[in-house]
Structure 1
Amino acid sequence: MTDAATQVPARRDTLADQVYEQLKQDLFGYRLLPGDRFTEADVVARTGASRTPVRQALYRLQREGFVMVHLRNGWQVRPVDFAHFDALYEARIVLELAAIERLCARPSPTPAEALRDLSEFWLVPESERLDDGPYVSQQDEAFHCRLVEAAGNPELARMHVEVTERIRILRRLDFTQGARIQATYDEHAAVLRALLTRRVDEARRLLKSHIEISRAEVQKITLHMLHTSRSEW
């Protein structure tokens, strides 16, 4: 009896995770558009899962700010609020610039030691650059998280991870165009070269410019996708 009692919750958690991941992919892929309304029954029909894991997945997405629940009116994808995303990007800039100063001021490990893995990926000849948008998007996020992590302040890194998660749904759009992928390689390489020689002011300027350019691009792409996409629901 004990074994059965411990197995049931584990299965429900797994199903909820699967529904959560599927819904998140629908959100990230703009198959669920900002402002779209839907019900738990819609998700049940789409995923084949029962109401319990569906509800768990939806409330998890609600906590993360992706969807809203309306009493007696079902669920809604949270509309795009560019002012909100701008505030998150500003917070990200503050955190990353602070991390750069701290990283360059640390005697050990040196920036070259702390960022060796990033150098191996981003400081490569153009012929060795990747053009896989989703994968480069993951590496871009890892680049910025690694910069903050290398600064050696766990609380700074924790706050940065939280902001990163909340802007991911828009930020990933920057890697749907080949030119932006190549620009990211160029911009990351410039930031790294400045960091490796402890040119902190230059590194801060380059990083701030890189983030601001990316923010402007994803807003343009988002507006375009909102005009051209159609919900599959």
Structure 2
Amino acid sequence: MDSAVDTLQDPAPSNMSPSESAYRQLRDRLLIGGFPLTRQLAEKRLAAMFGVSRTPVRHALIRLHGEGLVSQHAQGGYRPAVPDPNDIACLYEARRALEIGALWRPEEAGTSHDRGKLDALREDWEALRRDPPPADAEFVTTDEDFHIRLAQAAGNEVVADLLRSVNARIRVIRIHDFLSDDRIEVTIGEHLGILQAVAADDPAGAEKLFRAHLAKSKEIAEERALRAIARMATLD
């Protein structure tokens, strides 16, 4: 393994199972571009690196394959995945269309957003603003939950289900947006701003805020993902 990569190794967290520890350490190293793009992610080498047996590593690789962070190697096993830029662009377009449609749905249907769902969502995110979590790739699921629940408050579960599917496919890029504390705090503030506009029955204002929120998140996530891929391309 490249010596520069070895310096990235962290000790396995003592409060996690071997499978979860292997998964998180491997995921985090992939996110910063810690493996050569073309080299197979060998179970034996990874097991020694993370201080676990090969079985937890195998489970971690299967899980990461499902999340799109590793791909099948031509000679067997896995290697770091390289997302298709065209697919990512199309997925972001689909997400934008779904969420903007949900923001406008109540006005166009002559109804209103579910106030109980909006209030519960605001309370959850106000709590996060008071006590922001540390930067962690896992925050992507919390972020996804916000957007799903906001769509559900508009009253169309089909849109929410479609958004779940898009989020799952785009997560391989979006996960890069939550690797610094400042991005967590900015995201929380922007979510609460969107909620405030929705609660004020201002879909135009909510759409403007959402478009800016999505554009910035996409820019940062893609830049960090490309940086990680570029780093992997230099390793051998």
Same fold flag (TM > 0.5)? yes
Q: Secondary structure at the match of 1:76?
A: strand
1:143 aligns with 2:137: no
Quote the Cα distance in structure 1 between the aligned partners of 2:27 and 2:183: 23
Does the 8 Å contact 1:31/1:231 carry over to 2?
no
Alignment of 1:113-192 (within 5 A): 113-123=116-126, 128-130=130-132, 132-134=134-136, 137-192=140-195
Cα distance change of structure 1 residues 66 and 192 upon mapping to structure 2, 3 Å threshold: same
Quote the Cα distance in structure 2 between the aligned partners of 1:143 and 1:38: 34
Consecutive unaligned residues of structure 2, counting only runs of 5 or more, are: 1-16
Quote the Cα distance in structure 2 between the aligned partners of 1:34 and 1:155: 38
What number of residue pairs does the alignment pair up? 216
1:153-198 deviation line (CA, Å, top 9, x unaligned): 3332222112212222332322223332332233212211110012
Q: Secondary structure at the match of 1:133?
A: coil
1:222 aligns with 2:221: no
Task: Look up the equivalent residue of 1:215 and give its one-letter code.
Answer: K
Quote the Cα distance in structure 1 between the aligned partners of 2:84 and 2:221: 13
Cα deviation for residue 142 of structure 1 reads 1.7
Does the 8 Å contact 1:111/1:195 carry over to 2?
no
Cα deviation for residue 137 of structure 1 reads 4.3
Structure 1 length-normalised TM: 0.70
Worse-matched range after superposition: 79-88 or 57-66: 57-66
Quote the Cα distance in structure 2 between the aligned partners of 1:160 and 1:210: 16
Quote the Cα distance in structure 1 between the aligned partners of 2:208 and 2:227: 29
Q: Secondary structure at the match of 2:71?
A: strand
Does the 8 Å contact 2:40/2:73 carry over to 1?
no
Aligned to 1:102: 105
Which residue of 174, 179, 199 maps to 1:196? 199
Task: Look up the equivalent residue of 1:130 and give its one-letter code.
Answer: P
Worse-matched range after superposition: 40-49 or 110-119: 40-49
Quote the Cα distance in structure 2 between the aligned partners of 1:49 and 1:73: 16
Task: Look up the equivalent residue of 1:132 and give its one-letter code.
Answer: P
Cα distance change of structure 1 residues 60 and 132 upon mapping to structure 2, 3 Å threshold: closer
Does the 8 Å contact 2:88/2:170 carry over to 1?
yes
Runs of 4+ in 1 over 6 A off after TM superposition: 14-22, 229-233
